[in-house]
Amino acid sequence: MPNRLDQPMVYQIRVKGHLNRRWTEWFGDVTITPEDNGETLLTCPLVDQAALHGLLRKVRDLGLPLISAIRVNPP
């Protein structure tokens, strides 16, 4: 079933390195999950592509290597 245009899409962005949960406020409505393999998973609802690019810009500004960015179905 296609997503309604008025509902945010959920994205998972994986970066190399660990971010602790104190970065949540800087990133906004993002769940930060440090993983055992030295990567961090950022999970967040985003309203549009502009919001996705804004989040990716923040990742870039921190100097974190981007591993992947995928859209996932909401729970």
Print burial letters for 13-28: b (CB count within 10 Å at least 16), e (below 16).
bbbeeebeeeeeeebe
Report the C-alpha gap between 43 and 55 in whole angstroms: 11
The per-residue pLDDT for range 12-45, each reduced to its tens digit, is 999 999 987 778 778 888 999 999 999 999 999 9
pLDDT of residue 20: 76
pLDDT band at residue 1 under the 50/70/90 scheme: very low
Q: Which domain holds residue 61?
A: 9-72
* CATH number of the domain where residue 45 is located: 3.30.70
pTM score over 0.85: no
Tally of structural domains, the chain: 1
Please determine, for residue 2, whether its predicted confidence score (pLDDT) is greater than 70: no
- Residue 4 included in any domain: no
- Residue 2 included in any domain: no
